[in-house]
Amino acid sequence: MILVIDIGNTNITLGVFNGDEIIHVWRLSTNDTRTEDEYGVFVKNLLRETNLDTKITNAVISSVVVQLTERMKTALKKYLGIDSLIISHKIKTNIIIKTDEPSQVGADRIANACAAAKLYSAPAIVVDFGTATSFDIVNKNNEFVGGIITAGMKIQAEALSRKTSKLPNLNIEAPKKAIGTNTIDAMLSGIVRGHASMIDGLISECENELGEKAVIIATGGYSSIIENYLKRKFDFINPDLTLIGAKILFDLNK
């Protein structure tokens, strides 16, 4: 069995694959002050609760938090006795990375693009709702040609609350209508409906540059909320896309 770890700026997602099937997924908050021992014990205990701690043979790590990448790799070696593949532009992939600086492409975006190319037809646009909202774009030749990165909805909500004196903290949820009749509803409408309008517009512009329609795949926690406000619905919503992409990359490099 393979342990896949996706280290994001806000959350760390862990998944266990038995063959190509995900059998367990856990999420925990990212904390770059935790030591390798803390992470090692934490992961080992999670696996032990499901009787998997002795069944994991290898791991693959997708990380956008540089200071945690090697720390997690060391923790897995120390506490589980397994080696880890670190995702980067240097490893073998099923796509060609054709950006200006391949070394700057995040591991999660590489995983998303690889999963899109493997599971769906190209051209494809992955919209990933994380700390940032990112677009990862694969053209008809299975080339990762770049994308878009913008502030995610949680960042927008936190910025509104932090940078203004009267606007409150809020949880992201579906707004009741476009015209908010109170502060919370007005903020939700601006964040959620505004995000949906942005996505509609950017998908249209990306397809114009690609010269054809693309398959649109969404991943991340806010996918289902946003879809209700899109003029063009997502073709697929796959909450485990990044984990699946990381597993695909592991299989290509084992």
**For tokens 């063009």, what's the residue?**
232
Q: For this structure, is 108 an active site residue?
A: yes
In 10 A of CB 130, how many CB atoms? 22
Q: State the Cα–Cα distance between residues 145 and 113, nearest whole angstrom.
A: 10
8 A C-beta contact, residue 71 and residue 84: no
8 A C-beta contact, residue 93 and residue 110: yes
Helices (H), the chain: 36-49, 66-80, 107-119, 153-163, 183-188, 194-210, 223-227, 241-253
Query: What does DSSP assign to residue 163?
Result: H
**For tokens 């995040």, what's the residue?**
106
- Spell out the residues 6+ positions from residue 240 whose beta carbon is closer than 8 angstroms to its own: 15, 22, 25, 219
Q: Which residue among 20, 32, 108, 251 is the active-site one?
A: 108
Q: Which two tokens stand for residue 75?
A: 């923790």
Query: How far apart, in Å, are the Cα atoms of 124 and each of 21, 117, 145, 215?
Result: 23, 7, 11, 5
8 A C-beta contact, residue 150 and residue 136: no
Q: Which residues are catalytic?
A: 108
